[in-house]
Amino acid sequence: MRRAVCPGSFDPIHNGHLEVIARAASLFDEVIVAVSTNPAKKYRFTLAERLDMARETLASLKGIVVEPVGDGLLAEYCRQRGVSAIVKGLRSSSDFDYELPMATMNRQLSGVETVFLPAEAHYIHLSSTLIKEVAGLGGSVSDYVPRSVHRRMVAGGSSVDDQPRG
């Protein structure tokens, strides 16, 4: 069983994430979408909401599990679950500069490899941050997020400092 993990804040999950997760699912037997909470970050959605949105969106895809990362190291999380690779989408060279030290650190900590997938051109400009800014200023983001996420953004979800849970 080849198991991969797609980690991230997913605040909220968007179509660029989905495209990378679907491609990861075609390469591995199981993909864990691991939703992280960094106590130093402010989130628009609670961990429970971010998990719900990811689960609702990915429910129809086979071989995908959505879980919280917890508050420990991703490398340790991967070791405990027998994960062979962390899969990340790369949109730009600045993504690469940000990701490379983490990939090297994760491999040195637990032997887990990181596999980079080039982002699909159509989604190369997408980030959760930009989507939240556009939506917050009244712009339409319906082309960029799944329906369940759009519903919550329009309804106005939580705006809280999330606390790590499990």
Residue among 14, 23, 91, 150 flagged as catalytic: 91
Cβ neighbours of residue 136 under 8 Å, at least 6 residues apart? none
Residues at the interface with ligand PNS (CB under 6 A)? 7-9, 36, 38, 69, 73-75, 102, 105-106
Tell me how far, at minimum, the Cβ of 33 lies from ligand PNS, in Å.
11
Residue 116's CB is within 10 A of a number of other CB atoms, namely 16
Q: Would you call 5 helix, strand, or coil by DSSP?
A: strand
Tell me how far, at minimum, the Cβ of 116 lies from ligand PNS, in Å.
13
Tell me how far, at minimum, the Cβ of 9 lies from ligand PNS, in Å.
4
Strand order in the sheet with 64-70: 64-70, 30-36, 3-8, 85-90, 113-118
Residue among 41, 125, 151, 165 flagged as catalytic: 41
Residue among 9, 23, 36, 128 flagged as catalytic: 128
